[in-house]
Amino acid sequence: MARALLLRVARYPPLPTPSALSQTRLLPLRRHAPSPLRFVPFALPSSSVSTSSDAPSDGGGGRKGGDGGAGTGGCVDYLGMSDEELMEQCEMGTFKASGPGGQHRNKRESAVRLKHRPTGIIAQRDSPQAVEDRSQHMNRASALSRLRTLIALKVRRPINLEDYTPPVELLQILPLKSTVRGKDVGPQIGPNNSKFSPGMQALLDLLFAVEGSVSDAAKILGLSTGALSRLILSDDSLRTAANELRASKGLKPLR
């Protein structure tokens, strides 16, 4: 028998599912309600980042929203999403008006610019001089990895210090001498590893929760203040984000 066909226009990447839409309430930039996500506004050096001030209109709260990672308090874990899931929440605005496309056209777009709808974060090439890949696919991949870094730097998730245990992605970026870092965590992950971003995000969440105090955060992470400072200073964007955060609390920058 003929059954009704599922006829709909899909999007590549697909639009968020209705269940994801219902989570928009959890998203940042709703200042009138307590939000589990907060932006700490700061400027990045030499960045091409901007944060749109409009509230998210088209949702995309993320399918993993309810899962909650360790220490994330059950809010949206964007960095825990796969590239595909994250891409589903993004717009590639640059390409809107490019004509009929497909077989009609022989021209590569020069840069891929991604706008992450739920947070309004925009990721594009660092500078016009930055090396551009010849494949659009690869340009998209580097924009996506840039987006992950920006999410780590800008999206703050609340922490309940009472019963806080550092999540594994944070433990992974700590030096081996940390006393809270178990043996099973493996080698220390550095800033060039793609897994550094989730750890950096968790570290900034913690630093935000302790009002920017490196010594308080260091105690919780089983490190000396000096050791944690060195970790923060080891990556330029992490250092800048930490110092912006400290400045907002009236603290001196780390050097």
Partner 1 sequence: MATLSLSSRPLTFLRPNRTKPPLHRLLRRKPLASSSASALTPPTPLPDPTDPGPTPLFLRPASHPVPAAALAAFRRRAAALVPPSAPHLHRHLRWLLADAAADPSSDPALLRAPLDHLEAMWTGHVRDRRPFQYVVGNEHWRDLVVAVREGVLIPRPETEAVVDMVRKVEGFADGWWADLGTGSGAIAVAVARELGAEGRMFAVDVSEVAVEVATLNVQRYGVQGKVEIRHGSWFEPLQDVEGKLMGVISNPPYIPTDDLPGLQPEVGWHEPKLALDGGKEGLEHLLHLCEGLSSVLKPGGFFVFETNGNKQSEFLVDLISTKWNSSFRNVEAVLDFAEIKRFVTGYRR
Which residues sit at the interface with partner 1, rule CB under 8 A?
1-3, 5-12, 84, 92, 95-96, 98, 100-110, 132-138
Shortest Å, Cβ 103 to partner 1: 6
Smaller CB separation from partner 1, 96 or 255: 96
Shortest Å, Cβ 31 to partner 1: 31
Smaller CB separation from partner 1, 88 or 235: 88
Smaller CB separation from partner 1, 138 or 176: 138
Two structure tokens written together for 172: 């992974």
Shortest Å, Cβ 244 to partner 1: 33
Shortest Å, Cβ 109 to partner 1: 8
What does each C-alpha distance from 134 to 42, 60, 92, 110, 123 come to in angstroms? 32, 30, 17, 9, 18
What does each C-alpha distance from 61 to 64, 76, 156 come to in angstroms? 8, 7, 15
Phi, psi at 121, each rounded to 5°:
-70, 135
Q: What is the 3-class SS of 71-140, one letter each residue? A: CCCCCCCHHHCCHHHHHHCEECHHHCCCCCCHHHCCCCCCCCCEEECCCCEEECCCCCCCCCCCCHHHHH
| Whole-number Å distance between alpha carbons of 105 and 111 | 17
Smaller CB separation from partner 1, 136 or 188: 136
Shortest Å, Cβ 57 to partner 1: 16
Smaller CB separation from partner 1, 8 or 255: 8
